[in-house]
Amino acid sequence: MKHVLAEIITIGDEILYGQITDTNSQWISAELDKAGIRTKRKVSIGDQKPEILSAIEEAQTRADIILITGGLGPTKDDITKKTFAEYFGVEMYQDKSVLENIENLFKSRGRELNELNQQQASVPKNARVIMNLVGTAPGMWFEKKGKVLVSMPGVPSEMKKMMSEQIIPLLQERFDTPFILHKMIKTIGIGESKLAPIIADWEDNLPEHIKLAYLPRMGQVRLRLTAFGTNKEKLILDIAKQIEKVFPIIDKYVYGFDNEEVEHTIGNLLLQKKQTLATAESCTGGLLADKITDIPGCSAYFKGGIVAYSNDIKVSQLGVSAATLEVHGAVSEQTAMEMAENVRKRYNADYGISTTGIAGPDGGVPGKPVGTIYIGYSDKNETFAKLLQLTKDRHININFTYNAILNLLRKKLMEIE
Amino acid sequence: MKHVLAEIITIGDEILYGQITDTNSQWISAELDKAGIRTKRKVSIGDQKPEILSAIEEAQTRADIILITGGLGPTKDDITKKTFAEYFGVEMYQDKSVLENIENLFKSRGRELNELNQQQASVPKNARVIMNLVGTAPGMWFEKKGKVLVSMPGVPSEMKKMMSEQIIPLLQERFDTPFILHKMIKTIGIGESKLAPIIADWEDNLPEHIKLAYLPRMGQVRLRLTAFGTNKEKLILDIAKQIEKVFPIIDKYVYGFDNEEVEHTIGNLLLQKKQTLATAESCTGGLLADKITDIPGCSAYFKGGIVAYSNDIKVSQLGVSAATLEVHGAVSEQTAMEMAENVRKRYNADYGISTTGIAGPDGGVPGKPVGTIYIGYSDKNETFAKLLQLTKDRHININFTYNAILNLLRKKLMEIE
């Protein structure tokens, strides 16, 4: 069956200078994927007319749908809109409904309309206007020779609202879309090249319409299954069958599926057990608490945490003994253990976890180079700590530590090993 | 003068499915920019041979340098390498130095080499091999008709090391690069359309070779000046002159320049004053501490923080009075003030800041809808809190709150207003 193909064009010099990460195109392609539309290519170009024209011309030879973000905004030139007018051979005009929308927006915010904002109501004559309910730059839908071209503002919140509420439904109405089904199996604590031989037999026997991909990420490997077809129910069953086969081989590494993160898994396990958690962080500096509290509803199991960055806070607020710090140092098995145990008791939680280490780039000492990190664990039966000998890179160290301590807690909660 | 132009191609189905954000191309273009090489276009494609071939063929009509990431890895097909061999019309061979590098890497990690890994030493005959010192997939440098094509692994840490240490120096040796100079002026607490009219006169009088762009971001607007030319010293002076002109008009909104974040500004101010900070977070859940501790050297001014997610922790660990929670609730001016003041005193810091609110998506109550958030401030002279009435979006609320509390602290430290 024929796939409906899309190409995404993001416009902005700041993307080419490397000053911002283009997160729009990632979000858009994920939404298209859910709607059964396959992204064939993504292109980023600067705010120049010849670039915009050539990108559109090339895209229409490859794709059924061209989605463009950026190049619109009160302080930007209207190069983008004029380029569309030229491409389609039409004039510009001021759209009343857009002007009204801009006026209402300003009224509701108690602000004065200026000329810059009024100009934003100007659009090419063949555009079907897509109202921007949260900003001043309108979206535009064009059709030419069976191809659809949609222009959206580059501000992510405006683009996302417009895309979810208006453009995706219009695309689904306009095109006959097939089913693409993904299932992500998420593993932690095993590397890609160790995992591959374990599941090689299973992989070799996957049916034709199901593909497997390995997606490694700091301390984790995600296995993505993708199935294509016309019958959604059948695809769901086909994928379920494959998961049933592979799961027993890798179950102790699997913490979840799809958008589930390891902090969701831990949250669910704590909810089931009606137990609670507290964190004591030094080298992760709040990342652990931040990630745990990213999950709505975490207040049911997360008591709170402490970022004990300085030694006096470790003593006064966490009750680590001054003698421990004196004898073993802040980066030691003993300190990690006291941190985990004390935060558990002081915060009246069932589990306490801790991190302490030299994240880098500086701070290494003889016998404890940058990358020397301890993670601590405590419950009512036992308290222990583990040494991680990591890299020179602060970012890698912090993120790897975060994955390691959450995996340790996950295994304890699931009683693995 | 002629610019040296580059095109970046990132390969990976997972990018097109929207399952990962392509951060590689952002990092690469920022590095090229520093080296005076201008990125003309970025393209993302899937792991298919025809796609790779067509992207390379198109790129070489536009750019002098083609940089490719992804499509290499132990469990990936060697589609990418075979496509290069086909494009250049050469055979593949096993490179001894690459094989040795892989063997050493495995030895140092105490792991067994398998066949998958050995295959990674296979490269097209015309490739100049770029050693990968931290991974198994080698980089490759090709030349054809005056154009350079470089292939790198997709794992960010491997790609970055290879690019910084080997590829950028080679490119600078190979091409005569001009100067592109950027200066970013970073503002906080004023919107784009309010800022534009204030600096319109200055903007209109910028010299031809200096361009201005507005880059809005949650609660912040960055102003980017870009100058082009052959004389680096002159460009630095030209930009400095323009900043001298605009600065007095917007100084109270400017917190820094270039890669400086507001947490750097605060860190520097605290260092100068030899003063210290502690944080008490509820709705930001550790983000504040996490961002502050992202700055190397923060231990000189950051005492630590507490994530007081549950009410009993607010009472037991932070000393918020039970009566305050009873009468005013956890989300109230009084609670925010007690949190800021108590964390300052308990952590023996000069400044205490706090956040408490309903971030959403749930938890709204009559009179306190989702988005009701208080930020608190305390020093030895005064303690107060401010109400922020934000949106329904958890992510926006947490990030906006974080910007607002840091801007409040910045203004206090700089004695603005």
The amino acid at residue A114 is N
Confidence grade of residue B362 (pLDDT, cut at 50, 70, 90): confident
Highest mean pLDDT among A25-29, B172-176, B215-219: A25-29
Decide if B42 and A44 are in contact by the 8 Å CB cutoff. yes
| Residues A133, A105: Cα–Cα separation, whole Å | 8
Q: Are the beta carbons of A181 and A34 closer than 8 angstroms?
A: no
Task: Tally Cβ neighbours within 10 Å of residue A27.
Answer: 18
The pLDDT value given to residue B277: 97
- Concatenate the DSSP letters of all residues of A318-331 into one string: T---HHHHHHH-SS
The pLDDT value given to residue A36: 87
Decide if A182 and B362 are in contact by the 8 Å CB cutoff. no
Q: What is the pLDDT of residues B203-216, one digit of tens each?
A: 999 998 998 988 87
Q: How far is A42 from chain B (nearest CA, A)?
A: 5
Which of B14, B56, B102 to probe by mutation at the A interface, max A CB count within 10 Å? B14
Separation of first and last alpha carbons in chain A: 47
Domains of chain B plus CATH, in order, are: 4-174 (3.40.980.10), 179-257 (3.30.70.2860), 262-414 (3.90.950.20)
Decide if A41 and B192 are in contact by the 8 Å CB cutoff. no
C-alpha distances in angstroms, B12 versus A11, A16, A214, B47, B321?
21, 20, 11, 5, 55
Q: Is B78's pLDDT higher than 70?
A: no
Q: What is the mean pLDDT of chain B?
A: 91
Task: Enumerate the residues of chain A whose CB falls inside 8 A of the CB of residue B297.
Answer: 362
Chain B residue with minimum CA distance to A134: B391
The amino acid at residue B267 is G
Q: What is the pLDDT of residues A137-194, one digit of tens each?
A: 899 999 999 999 999 998 888 899 999 999 999 998 999 887 888 899 999 988 888 8
The secondary structure of residue A253, as a DSSP letter, is: T
Of A268, A385, A265, the closest CA to residue A324 belongs to A385
The pLDDT value given to residue B317: 93
Q: How far is B22 from chain A (nearest CA, A)?
A: 8
Q: Are the beta carbons of A166 and A139 closer than 8 angstroms?
A: yes
Q: How far is A347 from chain B (nearest CA, A)?
A: 7
Q: Average pLDDT, stretch B85-102?
A: 93
Task: Enumerate the residues of chain A whose CB falls inside 8 A of the CB of residue B299.
Answer: 309-310
Decide if B22 and A18 are in contact by the 8 Å CB cutoff. no
Task: Enumerate the residues of chain B whose CB falls inside 8 A of the CB of residue A316.
Answer: 346-348
Q: Is B349's pLDDT higher than 80?
A: yes
The pLDDT value given to residue A134: 81
Decide if B307 and A306 are in contact by the 8 Å CB cutoff. yes
Q: Is B111's pLDDT higher than 80?
A: no
Q: Is B1's pLDDT higher than 60?
A: no
| Residues B333, A299: Cα–Cα separation, whole Å | 21
Q: Is B192's pLDDT higher than 90?
A: no
Decide if B299 and A308 are in contact by the 8 Å CB cutoff. no
| Residues A300, B163: Cα–Cα separation, whole Å | 46
Decide if B182 and A17 are in contact by the 8 Å CB cutoff. yes
For residue B119, give both structure tokens.
């295959």
Per the model's pLDDT, the better-predicted residue between A22 and B327 turns out to be: B327
Decide if B30 and A45 are in contact by the 8 Å CB cutoff. no
| Residues A265, A274: Cα–Cα separation, whole Å | 14
Per the model's pLDDT, the better-predicted residue between A416 and B162 turns out to be: B162
Q: What is the pLDDT of residues A293-316, one digit of tens each?
A: 988 889 899 999 999 988 889 999
Q: How far is A181 from chain B (nearest CA, A)?
A: 11
Q: Are the beta carbons of B400 and B284 closer than 8 angstroms?
A: no
| Residues A372, A385: Cα–Cα separation, whole Å | 13
Task: Enumerate the residues of chain A whose CB falls inside 8 A of the CB of residue B303.
Answer: 309-310, 312-313
- Segments of chain A scoring below 70 in pLDDT: 1, 74-78, 109-110, 417
Which of B21, B57, B310, B345 to probe by mutation at the A interface, max A CB count within 10 Å? B310
Q: Is B335's pLDDT higher than 70?
A: yes
Q: What is the pLDDT of residues B220-271, one digit of tens each?
A: 899 999 998 888 899 999 999 999 999 999 999 999 999 899 999 999 999 9
The pLDDT value given to residue B75: 67
Which of A4, A8, A10, A14 to probe by mutation at the B interface, max B CB count within 10 Å? A14
The pLDDT value given to residue A75: 67
The amino acid at residue A175 is F
Chain B residue with minimum CA distance to A297: B362
Chain A residue with minimum CA distance to B224: A14
CB pairs under 8 A between A and B: 270
Q: How far is A334 from chain B (nearest CA, A)?
A: 20
Chain A residue with minimum CA distance to B278: A307
Decide if A75 and B40 are in contact by the 8 Å CB cutoff. no
The secondary structure of residue A189, as a DSSP letter, is: S
The pLDDT value given to residue A78: 66
Task: Enumerate the residues of chain A whose CB falls inside 8 A of the CB of residue B44.
Answer: 25, 41-43
Picking from B44, B304, B346, the nearest residue to A309 by CB comes out as: B304
Q: Is the ipTM here above 0.90? A: no
The pLDDT value given to residue A404: 93
| Residues B37, B15: Cα–Cα separation, whole Å | 25
